[in-house]
Amino acid sequence: MSAKSGDAWVEGPGGARYWGRYGAAGLLAVSPQREVLLQHRAHWSHFGGTWGMPGGARHQHESAVEAAVREAGEEAGVPPDLIVVRFTSVLDLGYWSYTTVVADATERFEPVVSDPESIELRWIAVDRVDELDLHPRFGESWPALAAQV
């Protein structure tokens, strides 16, 4: 791990742990068919077995959008040339932050499980997302995000 890598845990007050020395970001890709690309998280990962968006730790000097697009490419084979960022939503805890980057996919592409962090990747209709066992923080943010996608 290089000094610029953000791959590390941050511990907050009360012992809560969050992944990403410089914060973290995830990409919520929205298809032209009004589906979102979700990742079924590996069981060994934080809140493993739940569904969320591809994402991960930001690197030093990396913007949240850059991190989200990079991580989505690494974890799900998301082609950056098919992504048009629409807006971001930030959860800022003061000592750590998570940025959700919502982007339109100009066309529906086939996601690729390209690393061990994913069990499965799937396009899910926006009105069916809440039927899944969602990562707790994604589940908390989903109603506000769904109203905007």
Q: What is the pLDDT of residues 100-118, one digit of tens each?
A: 999 999 999 999 998 888 8
Question: Structure pTM?
Answer: 0.90
Q: What is the pLDDT of residues 15-61, one digit of tens each?
A: 888 887 888 999 999 999 999 999 998 888 877 889 999 999 999 99
Query: What amino acid is encoded at 15 in this protein?
Result: G
Domain ranges of the chain: 9-148
- Pull the structure tokens for residue 88: 């971001």
Residue-level pLDDT at 17: 85
Between CA 33 and CA 64, with CA 84 as vertex, the angle to 5 degrees is 120
CB 113 within 8 A of CB 104: no
Instruction: Specify the fold of 9-148.
Output: Nucleoside Triphosphate Pyrophosphohydrolase (3.90.79)
